[in-house]
Structure 1
Amino acid sequence: MKTVRVYGPPETALPFDLRDFLELLAPRARTALWTVSAVDAGYQWFDATGPGGANLEAMAQSDKRVTGQLLTEAARDTLQVIWGEFTGSLPQAPDQDWVIIRAIDSTFYEVTTNDDEVLRQVEASFGDVRFCDKVWKPSSDEAVVASTHDSDR
């Protein structure tokens, strides 16, 4: 699978969120089945704000697949996904990942897929798209800082 990272302008909040990726990938995103989960940040982390964020977090905790329509509705009511992973599979191949969208610490989004059309859409729609050799993993320093922060909660 190929991975791209999508960044916003430096020193500002990301001007896009999960809802933008789901809209970009419509109508297939709405017909897909999705698994919502935490990101492995050296510990399992899911964080999203707003009423939809609470719904997304409940989806992540349930570990059950949800329809693209339900995911899209929750994403529209979410102010910001800070940490989260969204794995979609298409109806014709329900046991195969179509696309994985990851929110990484409000710093960037990562999209992993074998679907070249998805990669073209992402590259054409966002200003700072970078191809990566592998998916994001925290450095050991980040994991230590994050786990310390997590214990403060």
Structure 2
Amino acid sequence: MKTLRIYGPSGAALPFDLRDILQRLAPRSLGASWKVSAVDGGYQWFDATGPGGDVLETWAQSGSMVEGRQLAAAAQDVLQVIWGEFTGFLPGAPDRPWIIVRAIDSTFYEITTDDETVLQRVETGFQGVRRSDAPWKPAG
């Protein structure tokens, strides 16, 4: 799988959030099933603000699958996802992740997928996109 990281301007808040990524990947993101979870970095980190953030946190704690339209609706009410992992599964391959979207400490979003269309949409739809050799892991 290939990994892209999306950064915002230096010293400023990210000008995009989960809702923007899901919208950029529609309609496939809306038809996918999603698992919302904490980012594993030695500690389990999930943090999102706003009314939608509370919904996402409940889903992360329950470990249940959520339909893409539900995730997109909740993401509309999120002020910011600080830490979180969102794993999408397409209907034809429910046991194999199509995409993993990670919010890392309000610093960047990371997209990991083998889907070349997704990679292209992310690279052309956002500024500050960089390729990464591997998904994020905590230092030390």
TM-score, normalised with respect to structure 1: 0.90
Q: Tell me, yes or no, if structure 1 residue 14 matches structure 2 residue 14.
A: yes
CA distance in 1, matches of 2:68, 2:125: 21
The 3-state SS of whatever aligns with 1:74 is: helix
Where structure 2 has 5 or more consecutive residues not aligned to the other structure, the ranges are: none
Identical-pair percentage: 64
CA distance in 2, matches of 1:14, 1:33: 26
Give the equivalent residue in structure 1 for 2:81: 81
Where structure 1 has 5 or more consecutive residues not aligned to the other structure, the ranges are: 141-153
Report deviation, 1:42: 2.3
Report deviation, 1:127: 1.0
Give the equivalent residue in structure 1 for 2:5: 5
Give the equivalent residue in structure 1 for 2:68: 68
The 3-state SS of whatever aligns with 2:130 is: strand
TM-score, normalised with respect to structure 2: 0.99
Larger helix percent = 1
Bigger radius of gyration among the two: 1
Amino acid at match of 2:112: T
Cα RMSD, aligned residues only: 0.5
The 3-state SS of whatever aligns with 1:26 is: coil
* 1:15-62 Cα distance to aligned partner (Å, 9 max, x none): 000000000010110110000000012200000000000000000001
Report deviation, 1:65: 0.5
